[in-house]
Structures are given as C-alpha cells and as structure tokens.
Amino acid sequence: MVVPGFTPDETDAVWLSLRVAFWAMLGSLPVALATAMVLARTRFWGKSLLDGLVHLPLVMPPVVTGYLLLLLFGRHGPLGRFFAESLGLVFAFRWTGAALASAVMAFPLMVRAIRLSLEAVDRRLEEAAGTLGAGGVFVFLMITLPLIAPGIVAGMVLSFARSLGEFGATITFVSNIPGETRTLPLAIYTLTQSPGGDPAVLRLTVVAIILSMLALLASETLSRRLAWRLSGD
C-alpha cells in the first residue's frame, strides 16, 4: 500500500504495528479473562505467586522478558518447538513473535482492568439470576459478562495501545527485520540511528501520536456508552 509522503518501508512498519497490536490484544483476551476470573473469584494456596507472575512483565526490564521469550519460544526452546510441531505456529523472528512479545508485555494491564471490573460486580445480582433458574455458565454469559464489558473494553484498548509502543522485548526476541518484525517503534529507532533520517522520524512520530490518540478516544467513547447502558437509566 502506497500512502503519499511515506516510503513503502514506513507504511509497512505502520501496518505491521497495527496487525501485531491487534493480534496481541485478541490473543491475550481469553487468557486474561480467565486469569482475572481466577484472581478475582477464587482463593487458593499460591495465589499471590500467580498474581506476582502476571505482574512481572510490568516491572522487569523488557529486555529480560524478551530474552526469556527467546529461551522458551525460540526455535530450540521447549514451548517454541511444541507450538511449531503441533500447531505449525512459529514465533522466532516472525511477526507472530512480535505479537507474542507485545501480548506478554501488555498482559498485566489487561488482567488488571478486567479484574477490577469483576470485583466491582454485585455478586448478589448473580445470586438473583441463580434463583431465577440460571446455572453457572448462563449467569456468566447473561449477567457477569455484560456487567464487566466496560472493563474488558478498557483492558483491550490498554493492551492495544501498549502493544503499539512495545520495543524492548520485541527487539530482543524477534530482532529488527524489515517487513517482518520492524514495527513502528523499531522503525523510528532504526531511522534515528541512520544519517538523514530525521524527516522520516518526525513523520512516523506524528503517526504514532495520532494512533495513540485514536485508541484513547475510542476507549473513552465505548466505555462511556457501556457505562450508560449498565447504569440502568
């Protein structure tokens, strides 16, 4: 795709970033929802350990996360081999790996947003649904899920925005391959390292700002509309 004023490399980087962020967001959603349910609703020995593990990418240096991903999901890593052999899904030095790195880095943010909304759900409404004949699965689908929808949307937007900006873990895990793993931040970084790259850096910076603003506005509008629906007015 050719956009006036942009080189093909630059538009590639923007589209790649959007694709990586989209799949990172979508792929981590079910896992984040399940993790949030476990953290918000259950009590078991070792829960704080799980909580810590979920939050680890938030506090660890991204390079370390990237390196661990390389060890686990690299060509010779145990999980990397498993996924390659059973599902044909290869992460190492592919855009899928960039999506995985983004998903892991954004995971704590998504879990946190969903967990907070789960904890705000009035459990007595679920109880009431039970007395009306709804079993566990139906209560979740018809009561819990609609009530936490604003939290899910917020989590998804946060995850998407965080993924757009992912740098450290991505470059460590899947390197900086043009057209495959060179996302917007990596492209900007590369351009700042090359002479005469300044105008291009500026162009991409503007794109990054616009994308971030759009994501925020979308989340704002969506969650306002959902909050209105849920207020019962």
Binding site for another protein (CB under 8 A): 122, 124-125, 127-135, 138, 142-143, 146-147, 229-233
State how far the Cα of 147 lies from the Cα of 152, in Å rounded to an integer: 10
Q: Which CB atom, from 145 or from 213, has the smaller least distance to another protein?
A: 145
Q: Which CB atom, from 148 or from 200, has the smaller least distance to another protein?
A: 148
Min CB(230)–another protein separation in Å = 5
State how far the Cα of 108 lies from the Cα of 113, in Å rounded to an integer: 9
Alpha carbon 57 to its chain's center: 12
Min CB(182)–another protein separation in Å = 43
Min CB(132)–another protein separation in Å = 4
State how far the Cα of 117 lies from the Cα of 159, in Å rounded to an integer: 16
For 174, what's the count of Cα atoms within 13 Å in the CB-facing half-sphere? 27
Q: What is the DSSP code string of 56-81? A: HHHHS-HHHHHHHHHHHHSTTSHHHH
Min CB(129)–another protein separation in Å = 7
Min CB(222)–another protein separation in Å = 15
Residue 94 DSSP class:
S
Place of tokens 């990418």: 57
Min CB(154)–another protein separation in Å = 17
Q: Which CB atom, from 5 or from 133, has the smaller least distance to another protein?
A: 133
State how far the Cα of 179 lies from the Cα of 185, in Å rounded to an integer: 13
Q: Which CB atom, from 82 or from 138, has the smaller least distance to another protein?
A: 138
Q: Which CB atom, from 96 or from 144, has the smaller least distance to another protein?
A: 144
Q: Which CB atom, from 63 or from 134, has the smaller least distance to another protein?
A: 134
Q: What is the DSSP code string of 190-211? A: HHHHSTT-HHHHHHHHHHHHHH
State how far the Cα of 147 lies from the Cα of 56, in Å rounded to an integer: 28
